[in-house]
Structure 1
Amino acid sequence: MVEHRTVETNGIRLHVAEEGEGPLVVLLHGFPECWYSWRHQFAPLAAAGYHVVAPDQRGYARSDRPEAIDAYTILHLVGDVIGLIHALGEERAVVIGHDWGAPVAWHTALLRPDVVRGVAGLSVPPQPRGSVPPLRAMHERYNGQFYWNYFQTPGVADAELAADPRTTFRRTLYAASGDNPRNNPPAQPLVRPGRGFLDAAEDPKELPSWLDESDIDAFVAEYREAGFTGGLNWYRNLDRNWELTAAWEGAALRVPSLYVTGDRDLVYAFPGMDRLIPALPQLVPGIRPPMILPGCGHWTQQERPAEVNAALLDFIGSL
């Protein structure tokens, strides 16, 4: 049974959901999500003999939400994970992330390989540091219409997403799923001038089979007080992260690794992914061949829990 508590780490308080006993496995959610995104992973991993812990990351749901935008850099986020592992009384852990949680997991393994036994990323692969800041690159490529760029102005996307959280989650979860026919193949998420992030996402008449109204209720409840600003502040540090990680450019990620994605995931269609993903076994020592789930969209572990759980258990068991 999943239990909840608050853990102090890195100067803030994180809400965590946990189940099981044994070696520690940390699950890091993405945007706009929370601990609940891992609801299908707790019982199987705990039953296999692991202590499964999914925090609401900094800025999300029941965890602390610092006001300063620059309090959400990748170094803060990695610090939270390392501090959490130690606050739980452990020296090492397996770290698994989805969406934004994946870059946090990859960077935690890169910066602190002494603490990470193994690392897995869902949706977002480990990526070499680009030659120019990412926001500038996407602004130039998509004429300022890429959703990362739309998220930059404080208060704008925050207000749009918070106006009706139920509609936000229904539209966002369906729009990026493998069930949306527009994602075969996936298209780039652009925000047209004068429009909003949700304008291109329809509110489905029926939810996909992997998602029901009780799941929407859970996300809405977690965001009722928290809002979306904390998570959006992660995007507002993309260029700052590029500056802060300069010292690790070219550094090899050598921790045993696993990458899982769907062929209808919007990230799968990002510029350069068609070359990066097949090349991962050559670029990242110790990574398994990428696992590509046919027909799966962006919400990897929610859309395809059985296959993801089997892959995670096989990977963790091999460490």
Structure 2
Amino acid sequence: MNASAESHAGQSPATSGPLGADDPGAFNHCFAEVNGIRLHYVDQGQGPLVILLHGFPYLWYMWRRQIVALAGAGFRVVAPDQRGFGRSERPEDIEAYDLSQAVGDMVGLMAALGETSAVIVGHDLGAWVAQAAAMLRPDLFRALVMLNTPVPPRGKIRPTVALREMAKGRVYHHLYFQEVGKPDRELAADPRKTLRSLYYSVSGSAVGAERWRLFIEPGEPILNAFTEPKDFPAWLSARALDYYVDEYARTGFTGALNYYRCRDRNWEITAFLDGAVVRQPSMFIGGAADPALEQITGVYDQLETYMPGLRKKVLLPGVGHSAAEEGVDEVNALLLEFLKPLGR
């Protein structure tokens, strides 16, 4: 395994202000050959390692303000583009996106970094990877934080079967994404409209009919469930949105959607995790205005039952599914409150 870095001389990301943090060039970009792929990641600061895993449709960049805050507080912060996203490699096979490969990437990245212990933080699909990493390799991942998505226990029945029962004849986005090709083309037809609509509709800024509609009718395109705003809220700058749009316009959405296409496969290959719990210190941060929580409030209520090391769970008022971007100060304060007592 090997790692390489891209130098950005004369820049100081750890002390960048809000505008500086929106500049992707203000960070230390690196690449490593891990688990058979080339992985892109940002590496900032020195101290105990914290790994930040993004969700969909985001990138390493969603953590830009957490990277600045945590690196400035004495942590080494590593935020990768997960496989299939951004500047990381995008394998063609759907099976290449199952949890065993995603966790394997993090194990390989730890080795490439020369580190043997990390706190792992995951948002959305990154929370699935982070939780699996904590369960499978407690020797490496000493603590866990999940943002926005309280990952449920494995479950007794196949995920797509459970989702169809929940949808009751309608279509949930996890089911919509099972088809190969059509969703990919719909999302990629106009990446700017897609991302503006998704980011806004799942956020705490959307109200009433603007909010993400969790279910669509059979035959209805997925983007009908979202609303494109006339003006985007200030928590996502034009520069930040441009970065997301440029990256997804270049890569498309197939790599990201392949994670959803592995839902049943993940269930099949993790039978040995049935009944497993996370015993490491853990925390959950969610948004009280996150529409994604509407169908899984029961999971949030029962987090303690399969996360016996849970130290705190909180829902931030007015914050939606992009907590790291919508509630920057609150998320940063909570992360630092959780991390500092852990020591090395």
TM-score between both structures, scaled by the size of structure 2: 0.89
CA change 1:195–1:245 in 2 (3 A) is: same
Aligned to 1:101: 126
Alignment of 1:292 onto 2:318: no
Give me the whole-angstrom Cα distance separating, in 1, the residues matched to 2:48 and 2:155.
Answer: 35
Corresponding residue for residue 208 of structure 1: 233
Letter in 2 for 1:25: V
2:163 aligns with 138
Question: Structure 1 92/181 Cα, relative in aligned 2: closer, same or farther at 3 Å?
Answer: same
Q: For 1:232-243, what aligned pairs fall within 5 Å after superposition?
A: 232-243=257-268
Matches of 1:176 and 1:317, distance apart in 2: 31
Q: 1:43 to 1:183 in 2, by over 3 A?
A: farther
Q: Is the 8 A contact 1:281 1:289 kept in 2?
A: no
Q: Which amino acid aligns with 1:215?
A: A
Query: Is the contact made by 1:120 and 1:259 (CA closer than 8 Å) also made in structure 2?
Result: yes
Structure 1 unaligned residues grouped into runs of 5+: none
- 1:8 deviation in Å? 1.2
Distance 1:183 1:75 in 2: 38
Deviations for 1:122-150, whole angstroms, at most 9, x for unmatched residues?
01114211111111111222125111111
The number of equivalent residue pairs is: 316
Counterpart Cα distance in 2 of 1:141 and 1:314: 37
| Alignment-mate amino acid for residue 269 of structure 1 | E
Say whether the 8 Å CA contact 1:6–1:14 is kept in structure 2: yes
Displacement, 1:275?
2.7
1:114 counterpart residue number: 139
Q: Distance in 1 between matches of 2:175 and 2:34?
A: 31
Instruction: Describe the SS at the equivalent of 1:289.
Output: strand
Q: Alpha carbons of 1:183 and 1:73: their partners in 2 closer, same or farther (altered >3 Å)?
A: farther
How much does 1:285 deviate? 1.2
Q: Which residue of 1 aligns with 2:51?
A: 26
Where do residues 33-48 of structure 1 align in structure 2 (5 Å cutoff)? 33-48=58-73
Q: Spell out structure 1 runs of 4+ moving beyond 4 A.
A: none
Counterpart for residue 182 of structure 1: 208
Which of 270, 273, 277 does residue 245 from structure 1 map onto? 270
**What RMSD over aligned residues (CA atoms) do the two structures have, in Å?**
1.5
1:231 aligns with 2:256: yes
Matched-pair contact (CA < 8 Å) for 1:183–1:297 = no
Match of 2:281 in 1: 256
Q: Within 2, Cα distance between the matches of 1:22 and 1:234? A: 32
Deviation at 1:197, TM superposition (A): 1.4
Q: How far is the alpha carbon of 1:274 from its aligned partner?
A: 2.8
Measure the CA separation in 2 of the matches of 1:129 and 1:237: 14
> How far apart are the structure 1 equivalents of 2:95 and 2:174?
16
2:98 paired residue among 73, 77, 95: 73
Correspondences of 1:295-306 after superposition (within 5 Å): 295-306=318-329
Match 1:166 to one of 179, 182, 192: 192
Task: Report the secondary structure of 2:205's partner residue.
Answer: coil
Alignment partners' CA distance in 1, 2:209 and 2:235: 17
Q: Is the 8 Å Cα contact of residues 28 and 105 (structure 1) preserved in structure 2?
A: yes
Does residue 193 (structure 1) correspond to residue 222 (structure 2)? The answer is: no
Structure 2 residue identity aligned to 1:295: G
Q: 1:311 is matched by which residue type in structure 2?
A: L
Deviates more, 1:111-120 or 1:207-216: 207-216
Cα deviation for residue 7 of structure 1 reads: 1.0
CA distance in 1, matches of 2:31, 2:155: 37
Q: Conserved in 1, the CA contact under 8 Å of 2:282 and 2:312?
A: no
TM-score, with normalisation over the residues of structure 1?
0.95
- Structure showing greater relative contact order (alpha-carbon pairs closer than 8 Å, 6 or more residues apart): 1
Amino acid at match of 2:200: Y
Q: Share of identical aligned residues, percent? A: 46
Give the distance between the partners of 1:133 and 1:264, measured in 2 at CA: 29
- Report what 1:283 is aligned to: 306
Letter in 2 for 1:92: S
Secondary structure in 2 aligned to 1:217?
helix
Unaligned runs of 5+ in 2: 1-12, 14-26
- 2:156 corresponds to 1:156: no
Whether the 8 Å contact between 1:278 and 1:290 is mirrored in structure 2 is: no
Partner of 2:77: helix, strand, or coil? strand
C-alpha displacement of 1:283: 3.2
Question: Is the contact made by 1:183 and 1:264 (CA closer than 8 Å) also made in structure 2?
Answer: no
Change (3 A) 1:196 1:135: same
Letter in 1 for 2:28: E
